[in-house]
Structure 1
Amino acid sequence: MTRVYTRRMLPLLSSALLCASCSTPAIKPASTEAQPQPQKTAVRTELARETAAARSRQIANVSYTLWFGLDEEHEDYQGRVVISFMLKEKARSVSSTLPVDFSGGKIHSVLVNGLEFTKPQIEDRYDGQALTLRTSALQNGANRIEISFTRKFSGMDTTGLRLFKDEEDDGTYIYTRLGPYDAHRVFPCFDQPDLKAAYELAVETPADWITVANTLERDSNKIDGRISRAFPPSPVLSTYLFALHAGPYKTFKADSSGIPLRILLRRSFARKADVHAWLKATGDGIRYFNEMMGYPYPFTKYDQVFVPGISTSDSTSFEPAFTQSAGAVTFPEEFLVEKTRGGHHKTRVGFVAMHELAHMWFGNLVTMRWWNATWLNEGLATFFAAKAVENALKSSTAWEYFHTGIKTRGYAADTGAGARPVDAPVPDTGAARKIFDDLTYGKGAALVRGLEFFAGEEEFKEGIQRFLNRFAFRNAAIADLIKHLSEASGKNLVPWQQSWLQTSGTDTVRAEWACTPDAKTGKETVTTLSLKLTPPDGTTRSRPHRAKIAFYKQAKGGNTLRIKETFDVYFSNPETPVPQAAGKPCPDAVFPNSSDLDYIRVKLDDRSAAVFSQKLKNIEAPLDRLLVEEALALSK
């Protein structure tokens, strides 16, 4: 099949290329038609942090105007992009060149501020990974680059723009799967998180396809038996948040707080899926987050596209198969299969849904400057997913799942030679991909929960809201969040940041206590209670903690072990007395991390271990029962 739109693609871009109501885009004629290069090999290269920092010192105010031609018959797709940006006054002193990232494609034509590159110039400047511009050829202030290109669809085992052919329904489904330094595997761009940009988009596809982007469709028009859909400029986003999904998807719709919601599925998969419960959970989540974040849902719609060819077994990371693109998230199809409905799976599905929704604030509204601060995205989104599962989805087992499915994986990864700080150096994007692991998600989210308790729940909420409003549609560092939480709580949280995010390993706590009979009543009361803190093996450092100590007592006339008294205690020294416990009725057992609020391992004192080992099944609080069982194993 010959593409009917091929000749429209090859000439250079014009400002009118996104006019979806025009039958043929207006095109600036070139004196000679540029010939394409040979397809470049899409060998994976990485972006160094120093290179990204240098480029950030050169340019600002980036925007992209894009056109894509997609179909089911070819192994490659066609595209055009106009990149507009401001060249900073001192850009040339930073470097004599400015790279435009584009991996493994063909460049057909280049126009820089109205001047067209010749074929030899394109061949000289494009090496298959980047188109290198000379800053001497750019002008101070506003610049405009126009590039027409083609690229093969990515394989199902790689990132980029994927194509999947469904043998069941004979449909072709296309979707972006992007992570660190992956957007340039789709189109030419400045592919780093701190060069946020608006994306205006037009996509030409077969007439029966639906197209999904970061914004709501503006208009559409039939062209030569195909359809062109136009999308208005998005809010400014990092490149890895760009979304383009297309195909004959079946669509399910709902609404939450005026935000259009859609679920899109392959036609052959739609009959197997349980859609309505997921849409309801999404709506409940948006309403909850609107109140919690103090910043309303920041995009014009929320699409959830369940795509084929990916699975949660693709890697060992907590969230390996999901993409958090602004307003257009992708999920593996397995999460909508009916059989996954059940206690554990239902809670897990809720976490996944709420985690990606939380990214609309943490990662999309506010984005880390560089990948070392991925905790700002993943740690916060994972923690707030748990809060949403508890409060929006009304799950009574949210924190039990959080502990067993997330936090314990952080504990395991935070031991031995493989442990690293949550905020560790990330010299390039290859290293960035490796930190999407149980330390970032599991330990990272557990530390956020500990930070909430340490700062105070209401103070933490206030600090989060200040942070989101201050850095909306901007980039931030971890220090920016800590500053706003410190101001809201009245506590200097920089030592917490240094102790917890910039070191590795897990502390251990043990309660030591004694009781004696009261001289007047003869009833036993507590005389001493202290917490013994042990740092990770091989270290002597102290870290700030806040934990909830629980006194357990067997219920009268029964076997149930119930919490009779709790004490919220700050501690950081090797031994910390708890004077407020003195004179309290003597408990049967003491557990020094009730409700799992602190990131710490517990070793039980001998008296408590003896009681808990006999009465484990009688502990009334399900979460504490899990924690005590782990502590018993650690105390042997």
Structure 2
Amino acid sequence: MHMQRISAIISVLFLVAIASCSRTSIQEGVSFELAQKRGEQVSGITYNLTFNIPANIEQDITGTVDILFNLESKSDVVLDFRNNSDDAILGVWKNEKTIKYYFENGHIVIPKRCLSTGNNSITIEFTSASGSLNRSQDFLYTLLVPDRASTVFPCFNQPDLKAQFILSLSIPAKWIALSNGKTDSIQYINNDIKSVFFAKTKPISTYLFAFAAGNFRVETKTVLGKTFSLYHRETDTEKLNRNLPTLFNLHAQSLTWLEEYTGIEYPFNKLDFILIPGFQYSGMEHPGAIYYRDSRLLLDSNPSPTQKLQQANLIAHELAHQWFGNLVTMKWFNDVWLKEVFAGFMADLIVNPQYPDIDHDLSFLLSHFPRSYSVDRTKGANPIVQSLDNMLNAGTLYGDIIYHKSPIMMRQLEQIMGKNAFREGVREYLNVYSMGNAAWDDLVSVLNKHTDNELVEWAHIWTKETGRPMVGYSYSVSESQVNLNPLDSTPTPPMWLEVSSAKMGTKSIWVDKIPLSFAVENLNNEEELLVNSSGMAYGCFVPNNLTAESIRKQVDGIRSPTARASFHIALYELLLDGKIAVNDYIKLIVQQVAKEEESQIVTYLLGQINTVFWRFTDDQIREELSEDIEKMLWKMLQNAKTLEQKKPILTCLTSVFITNETFTRLYSAWISQSVQGVSLSEKERTNLAYQLMIRKPELYHTIALGEIERINNPDRVAQFEFTLRAISPNLSERIAFFESLKSVSNRKPEPWVTEALYWLHHPLRSDFSVRFIEPSLDLLPEIQSTGDIFFPKSWLDATLWGHSSEDAYSIVTQWIELNNLSPNLRQKLLQSADMLFRVNGLK
């Protein structure tokens, strides 16, 4: 270390020691109280940032930030910086003069005597913490949502203190870089290092600031008058060229649609995007620099219409965020759901008309309702709007309620208001709060002006209450009346409910409470009636008098795909509630999937077969069921006429097979890369390799070596080799793999870890892997503090999915009793453990 740097550190430590004599204690993170106080005091923020990024991954990333801000009145200023290493803060200056400050619990406090009312400028030299820099040998990228910006540079880390960013990066000369702002200029320092300078951004929240640098390639294209640059690491030229035109076109089409719908031009200076191997999420909406996981956009050859729809929907989702989340941002992170529901809602409006052959109402039903119920039925159910006392816990707010229940609510809202009124309300909301911040209550107040319906109480019930309603119904012939009655204590939210029959057609009923009765004439019995025939009412609506035979007749008689799918969803919920026997349910769905003609319902039922086969049965029952199920799936695969039909069948077959006959056929398919007219993509072939190795450990080395030779991208080879350690037939190697995860440095990339844990805890390995449950739960608080937003839940899901035993149940229940988790993290555990609890409750 140079003597000059040592001297600077000693001086800083001395100043910190002096200042600490009269300091006020500040809690870790950004508390709601601190955020409120700063929101009243601080404005007009600009960050002028410089980062020095060495090629050697072992060397620290250092930087300097000039923070310009306006102070309403003279007071102490608290900046957030979460790096506790000794050389994290190398100096703090104002007007080139060193100033006294103190550092506590991740905060740099500048005393008010060093500040002025009005404009201020503070310069800080720092070393970034490594956790959110996502460094690999030849590339890195920041990911700062929701509260990680303060691990990379000192800042005001709350969403309502938006700022403009000016950035320069010193990087290896062979690398290229991307950030929110346009590239202004590049200056080569020498043969090894260059500096990249980016233009000032529009005001954005700190969680949206981003940069990436490394060995990437760039493709640039102008479509519909919009110019985009795509950054990638894909080495499969054929795959890249096959997807590039589609990716550029989809971005341009979504952008054009959103400008027309909102009446507001794209609000930022440029729009580029980057495809990252192993990226934690499907996408992240940084203004000007959208991140995607490469595998979500670079589709294999012959993608199905559903895969193409999902690709287009993801792009539309991230583009919609440019208005909903970036242009208008939530005031506090408890309203993070608001940006997500708008992005999902707009994505559906953008993409669905492009795929007229897909039943989008059915897709909405099957995409959102089961996932929402998977949380809302549990003891850990959370409302749409959750409380948040500190930004440290903001990541725990994300989950299936945000992404799946809130779209159901938003669809009901548009139905109540009408499409035109809803659109006008949304336009007003965006214009009023443009480049600023708003809360859910602000949106409701705006929308309320565009409808005669009272939305405040309606909004409160939908966003603050929890639970999946279970409603029974009966029909009184003598009174020509339908009677709805609650089957559990869960309140029913106010909503439109559609009922229909062949004689009367469809009738819409406003439901604001249960019990409820309403008139329906000219029916002979309740079997002629479909309640929730559109499938869009929240909750499960089932006849009061259900038997295995009446269920079969009911399903067979439902002609509407959405009504039939809704009934299947309700039957599964009845199974989980113990109101249908497991054997009866398995027989029913095996019968139904074989004769179902709607491909989306087939895919759903195949997923249910997979779930029930592994979660609700033991080894003996699986042996009894496997031959018949596998024969049925082979027959379905043979009879299916299109790839869209064949692929979900093959996915189910490769997931549930246990017979030697099917193993032999699938092993041959892995070798030939083809089965029953389906050419296996690299992803499908690799997944099949995992399935085969799990079932025949003696072939592990043969299959592993054969697969490595056929994977044609080094990033994907690295992921495969990472996962192999969790599948190894060597027990000590599996133990060593899990032990390695106790180090935070070995828990990245997180999608790799999640996949490896999935295989480690496969039901066929559960007798051995049960030993990992307790230490996995012990790591949970650390996983939450060091991992990204979805990692705690995916860690839990991957750990518990393969376990149904009483031993696993006892380990989890005892651990919950003995350990105090934060409320939100405890909810996540109860959600992930719900199936384990229910299966053991049915035994």
Structure 2 residue 223 is the aligned partner of structure 1 residue 284: no
Report whether the alignment pairs 1:573 with 2:573: no
Which residue of 90, 103, 115 corresponds with 2:83?
Answer: 103
Q: 2:444, 2:178 → 1: CA distance?
A: 36
Which whole-Å CA distance do the structure 1 matches of 2:105 and 2:466 have between them?
39
Report Cα offsets for 1:600-622 as digits up to 9, x if no partner. 32223669998873374675543
Check if 1:417 corresponds to 2:367: no
CA distance in 2, matches of 1:323, 1:36: 40
Partner of 2:493: 543
What is the rounded CA distance, in whole Å, between the counterparts of 1:194 and 1:501 in structure 2?
A: 22
Equivalent pair of 2:228/2:271 in contact (CA under 8 Å):
yes
Mapped to 2, the partners of 1:529 and 1:469 lie a distance apart of 48
> In the alignment, is the contact (CA less than 8 A) between 2:147 and 2:394 conserved in 1?
no
Aligned equivalents of 2:388, 2:327: Cα separation in 1: 22
Structure 1 residues 427-438: aligned runs within 5 Å? 427-438=389-400
- CA deviations 1:279-331 (Å, max 9, x no partner) are 222222222222333333222222221112335xxxxxxxx453221221212
Offset, 1:491? 1.7
CA 219–440 in structure 1, closer or farther in 2 if over 3 Å, else same: same
Give the structure 2 partner of residue 561 of structure 1.
none
Shift in Å at residue 110 of structure 1? 1.6
Letter of the aligned partner of 1:591 in structure 2?
Answer: L
- Partner of 1:55, secondary structure, is helix
Unaligned segments of structure 1, at least 5 residues: 11-31, 166-171, 312-319, 517-526, 554-563
Worse-superposed segment, 62-71 or 384-393: 384-393
Give 2:53's aligned residue. 70
**How far has the Cα of 1:388 moved from its partner?**
2.6
Matched, 1:161 2:143: no
Identity %: 26
**Separation in structure 2 between the aligned mates of residue 412 and residue 434 of structure 1, nearest angstrom:** 17
Give the drift of 1:372.
1.2
TM-score by length of 2: 0.60
- Residue deviations 1:356-407, cap 9 Å, x none? 2221122111111111111212222223323333135556244434333333
Counterpart residue number, 1:317: none
- CA distance in structure 1 between the partners assigned to 2:485 and 2:349 by the alignment: 29
Q: Kindly indicate whether the alpha-carbon contact (under 8 Å) linking 2:337 and 2:385 is maintained by their aligned counterparts in 1.
A: yes
Establish whether residue 528 from structure 1 lines up as the match of residue 480 from structure 2: yes
Contact map agreement 2:277 2:295 (CA 8 A) in 1? no
CA distance in 1, matches of 2:568, 2:89: 61
User: What is the CA distance between 1:487 and its match in structure 2?
Assistant: 1.1
Q: Where does residue 240 of structure 1 map in the other structure?
A: 207
Counting only pairs closer than 5 Å after superposition, residues 161-560 of structure 1 correspond to structure 2 as 161-165=133-137, 172-225=138-191, 226-268=193-235, 272-273=239-240, 274-311=243-280, 320=281, 322-339=283-300, 341-392=303-354, 394=356, 396-513=358-475, 528-530=480-482, 532=484, 534=486, 537-538=488-489, 543-552=493-502
Question: Tell me, what secondary structure is at the counterpart of 2:398?
Answer: coil
Where do 1:123-134 residues align within 5 Å? Answer: 125-127=102-104, 129-134=106-111
Structure 2 distance, partners of 1:410, 1:511, is 22
CA distance in 1 between counterparts of 2:439 and 2:346 reads: 19
1:521 is matched with which residue? none
CA–CA separation in structure 2 for the residues paired with 1:62 and 1:621 = 56
Amino acid at match of 1:187: F
Are residues 586 and 466 of structure 1, via their aligned partners in 2, closer, same or farther at CA, if it must alter by over 3 Å? farther
Amino acid at match of 2:286: S
What's the CA shift string for 1:421-450, capped at 9, x where partnerless?
111211112332111111221212222122
* Native 8 Å contact 2:43 2:71 kept in 1: yes
How far apart, CA to CA, are the structure 2 residues paired with 1:530 and 1:513?
Answer: 5
Q: Distance in 2 between matches of 1:511 and 1:455?
A: 28
Question: Which is further off, 135-144 or 221-230?
Answer: 221-230
**CA separation of 1:343/1:267 partners in 2, compared to 1, >3 Å: closer, same or farther?**
closer
1:55 aligned to 2:55?
no
For 1:393 and 1:246, locate their aligned partners in 2 and report how far apart those are by CA, in whole Å.
36
* Letter in structure 1 aligned against 2:257: Y
Moved more, 334-343 or 205-214: 334-343
More off after superposition, 337-346 vs 274-283? 337-346
Contact 1:203 1:230 in 2 (8 A): yes
Relative to 1, partners in 2 of residues 1:585 and 1:213: Cα closer, same or farther, differing over 3 Å? farther
Task: Give the letter for the 2:235 counterpart.
Answer: S
- Work out whether residues 604 and 632 of structure 1, in 8 Å CA contact, stay in contact via their aligned partners in 2: no
Q: Does structure 1 conserve the Cα–Cα contact (< 8 Å) formed by 2:162 and 2:436?
A: yes
Structure 1 or 2: larger helix share?
A: 2
Report the 3-state secondary structure (helix = DSSP H, G, I; strand = E; otherwise coil) of the residue aligned with 1:374: helix
CA shift digits 1:88-110 (9 cap, x unpaired): 12x53xxx452343434622222
Q: 1:251 to 1:46 in 2, by over 3 A?
A: same
**Residues 348 and 401 of structure 1 are in contact (CA less than 8 Å); yes or no, is this contact kept in structure 2?**
no
Whether contact under 8 Å (1:285, 1:392) holds in the other structure is no
Query: When the two structures are aligned, how many residues end up with a matched partner?
Result: 555
Q: Do the aligned partners of residues 400 and 364 (structure 1) sit closer, same or farther apart at CA in structure 2, a change above 3 Å counting?
A: same
Residue 37 of structure 2 aligns to a residue in which SS? helix
Q: Which has the higher strand share?
A: 1
Q: Quickly say closer, same or farther: Cα 1:454–1:530, change in 2 above 3 A.
A: farther
- Whole-Å Cα distance in 2 between the matches of residues 34 and 452 of structure 1? 58
Q: 1:50 to 1:629 in 2, by over 3 A?
A: same
Say whether the 8 Å CA contact 1:368–1:475 is kept in structure 2: yes
Deviates more, 1:481-490 or 1:203-212: 203-212
- Does the 8 A contact of 2:492 with 2:539 survive in 1? no
Contact 1:378 1:441 in 2 (8 A): yes
Query: In structure 2, do the counterparts of structure 1 residues 441 and 488 end up closer, same or farther at CA, with 3 Å as the change threshold?
Result: same
Q: Once the two structures are superposed, what CA deviation does each residue of 1:506-559 show, in whole Å capped at 9, x if it has no partner?
A: 23445544568xxxxxxxxxx734452538x446x5632112333347xxxxxx
The one-letter amino acid of 2:507's match is F
Partner deviation per Cα, 1:334-357 (whole Å, 9 max, x = no partner): 213433833443333333322222
Task: Map Cα deviations across residues 447-484 of structure 1 (whole Å, 9 max, x no partner).
Answer: 21222222222222222222112111111111011111
Q: Match of 1:108, as an amino acid?
A: L
3-state SS, counterpart of residue 162 of structure 1 = coil
Change (3 A) 1:549 1:286: farther
User: Do residues 82 (structure 1) and 66 (structure 2) align?
Assistant: yes
Which amino acid is 1:107 matched to? I
Q: Which residue is equivalent to 2:567?
A: 628
Q: Structure 2 CA distance, aligned partners of 1:476 and 1:470?
A: 9
1:115 paired with 2:97, answer: yes
For the residues of structure 1 that align with 2:546 and 2:528, how far apart are their CA atoms?
7
The amino acid across from 2:497 in the alignment is A
Partner AA of 1:210 in structure 2: I
Superposed displacement of residue 202, structure 1: 1.9
Which stretch of structure 1 is more off in the superposition, 583-592 or 626-635?
583-592
Alpha-carbon contact 1:84-1:144 (below 8 Å) kept: yes
The amino acid of 2:69's aligned partner reads F
Equivalent AA in structure 1 for residue 274 of structure 2 = V
Any idea what SS the aligned residue of 1:377 has? Answer: helix
Shift of the 398–583 alpha-carbon distance from structure 1 to 2, 3 Å rule, reads closer
CA spacing shift, 1:441–1:368, aligned 2, 3 Å:
same
Change (3 A) 1:448 1:474: same
Decide whether aligned partners of structure 1 residues 283 and 531 sit closer, same or farther in structure 2, where only a CA change above 3 A counts: farther
Query: Match of 1:141, as an amino acid?
Result: G
